Structure formats: C-alpha cells, structure tokens
Amino acid sequence: MPERRTISIFCLRCRTLLYTYKKGGTGGLVKCIVERIVEDHTAGDLRCPRCGQEFARERMMGGKPAHKIIQGKVFTRGMRRK
C-alpha cells in the first residue's frame, strides 16, 4: 500500500499557506498533481496570493494536470501519516 501523507505547502518568502496536498512516496516535493490538492488557498494562478511570487508551473504528468514546484520557492510542513 503506497504511503500517502497530507502536507502543507507554504510560500518560502512570506510563509503564506498555499496548498494542503496528499503526497505520495517518500521523496521531496517536486510536483502537485491537481486532483490531490486538498485545499487551494491561491487564486489558481500558481502565484502566492500575498507576495505574488510564482511558485509552480503547469505541466501534464502521466496524462494528468500537475503543478511542478519551482525549487527554492516553497517549504513544506506536516508530513503526518494519513
């Protein structure tokens, strides 16, 4: 059974909560698959709603829309097991 945790993703610059997300696997956060985003606190434009920093780019991954995280723009917290 694959491990899946709900994590929180924050803007590194201003510490605003961007997404809560169900993450699979054990590696670092590289992408967010859109259907696994639990809560979206952005305007859906891949920018921080507070400071305007772009933190991800839209990509298709395995036929599903995903947000590829730009490294160094966000940090994560939570990593609790579901």
- What mask of x and - would describe binding to Zn ion in positions 12 to 41, judged by CB under 5 A? -xx-x-------------------------
Measure Cα distances from 33 to 14, 28, 69, 71, 78 in Å: 23, 14, 11, 16, 18
Shortest distance (Å) from residue 12 CB to Zn ion: 8
- What mask of x and - would describe binding to Zn ion in positions 52 to 71, judged by CB under 5 A? -x------------------
CA distance 24 to 36: 9
Q: Which of 7, 11, 18, 37 binds Zn ion (CB under 5 A)?
A: 11
- Residues touching Zn ion, count (CB under 5 A): 8
Positions in the binding site for Zn ion (CB under 5 A): 11, 13-14, 16, 48, 50-51, 53
